[in-house]
Amino acid sequence: MNNQPLAERLRPKTLDNYIGQEHLTGKNAVLRNMIESGNISSFILWGPPGVGKTTLAKIIANTLERPFYTLSAINSGVKDIRDVIEKAQKQQFFNRPNPILFIDEIHRFSKSQQDSLLGAVENGTITLIGATTENPSFEVISPLLSRCQVYVLNHLDKKGLLQIIDSALKKDTLLKQKKINIRENQAMLRFSGGDARKLLNVLELIVLAEENDEIEITDEKVIDRLQKNLAIYDKQGEMHYDVISAFIKSIRGSDPDAAIYWLARMIEGGEDVKFIARRLLILAAEDVGLANPNALLLAQSTFDAVHQIGPPESRIILSECTIYLATSPKSNSAYEAIDLAISLVKKTGNLPVPMHIRNAPTKLMKELGYSKNYKYAHAFEGNFVEQDFLPEEIKNERIYRPQNNMSETKILERLKLWWGDKFSSK
């Protein structure tokens, strides 16, 4: 037992000891209700590392007293899946509940591996619980995704992280033998990044480095120890998020040298090239946007090509897209416009659609004034005629605001030509 890492020794066994994810496990929350009812359906847990995905699956299996099989997508193949399904089928007698199959990193399963699960999930031979750090809609095949609910887990907040530290000091057999005083906790919390496992690893690292039983933990001591032990790149941990952040910010900041450097760090660290391609696709829309609309097309082509080719050749495709995006003019006007529009909808989402732009497929609707006085743009010179398209109460709201770049300057000129004073100033 003492050879186990602290995070494993402290893994909760019951839902009442589980910290965080109140939206799923709190009173009357969906997973708690499911567990308490005893009727568990297949689902996928999506969230960052160290927030309790594996722990939650084990708690469910223990609470419901179900047979529990676990596979890792990194080292399991179709044969392993079939072996588990065969074992589950042999246990189908009387009213015995079906086993739970937990698959960690299910996003790494190939299509054929995921296909091999479909029949067993559909007919109830197994209850599937998948865990993923990536958006399931990108990597989980549609037929399997349609048979599973997706529940999102969040980074632990400060309150949850402090609860975990307190629990470790009070409950762990080894830590209780020492007199530990946490004088400062900011560095521990910062390095954890909301990851409970990372937090406990940091705590254990500091404690094991001390020779005395009386230990005082300070921010300076934590930083010093971690600098001596931090890996160059950990695609499952904190550095994963730090490096991808540096990569994105370098492209956003139009520095191709830095962007390529961080890209190389990820490639050499074994990062999934599809993960990188997805981030480039998002960045093309969010940060380059309408300043260079072709960026989104190139990023989509990159995403498709990387899926088809894979490493090591995909590094060249990723490099080309990275340089293109880094050297493109930047605009986040589309990003700001949709967020502003959503904010406006939350305040005014009950306003009626103006009568003149409503659909009028029936005679009764036309008699009621639907579509009355609508002006068909193509019937006017230049294919434009001024009319209101927003509800009366917000018709003067400005949502899209072109930014100062060559592409959007042309857009602004066109809008001014059409709408005059409405777009005359920001």
Q: Give me the CATH number covering residue 114.
A: 3.40.50.300
Give CA–CA dist 223/230, Å, rounded: 10
The pLDDT confidence band at residue 72, using thresholds 50, 70 and 90, is: confident
**Residue 337 scores a pLDDT above 90:** yes
For 79-128, how does the pLDDT look when each residue is reduced to its tens digit (9 = 90+)?
Answer: 888 888 888 887 766 667 788 899 988 888 888 888 888 888 888 888 99
Boundary (domain end) residue, out of 229, 260, 276: 229
Up-side HSE of residue 98: CA atoms within 13 Å toward CB? 22
Give CA–CA dist 361/47, Å, rounded: 45
Q: Comparing 234-238, 296-300, 415-419, which segment has the lowest mean pLDDT?
A: 234-238
How close are the terminal C-alpha atoms of the chain, in Å? 65
**Domain count within the chain:** 4
User: Can you give the CATH number for the domain in which 378 is found?
Assistant: 1.10.3710
Q: What is the mean pLDDT of the chain?
A: 87
Residue type, 49: P
Q: What is the pLDDT of residue 94?
A: 61
In a domain, 204, yes or no: yes
37 and 143 share one domain: yes
Q: What per-residue string of b and e applies to 365-377 under the rule 16 or more CB within 10 Å gives b?
A: eeeeebeeeeeee
| 3 state DSSP class of 421 | helix
165 and 267 share one domain: no
Give CA–CA dist 101/200, Å, rounded: 27
> What token pair was written down for 259?
């962007």
Q: What is the pLDDT of residue 102?
A: 92
Q: Tokens 């965080």 sit at which residue?
A: 20
Range of the domain at 395: 352-423
Q: What is the pLDDT of residue 233?
A: 40
Residue from 143, 64, 52 nearest 99 by CA: 64
CA angle 370, 375, 379 (to 5 degrees): 140
Q: What is the pLDDT of residue 231?
A: 46
Q: Tokens 């909808």 sit at which residue?
A: 345
User: Can you give the CATH number for the domain in which 289 is found?
Assistant: 1.20.272.10
244 and 211 share one domain: no
Residue from 130, 124, 114, 167 nearest 56 by CA: 130
In a domain, 15, yes or no: no
Boundary (domain end) residue, out of 94, 129, 152: 152
In a domain, 11, yes or no: no
For 355-381, how does the pLDDT look when each residue is reduced to its tens digit (9 = 90+)?
Answer: 999 988 888 888 888 999 999 999 999
The pLDDT confidence band at residue 228, using thresholds 50, 70 and 90, is: low
The pLDDT confidence band at residue 2, using thresholds 50, 70 and 90, is: low
Give CA–CA dist 190/178, Å, rounded: 24
Q: Are 40 and 127 in contact (CB under 8 A)?
A: yes
Q: What is the pLDDT of residue 232?
A: 40
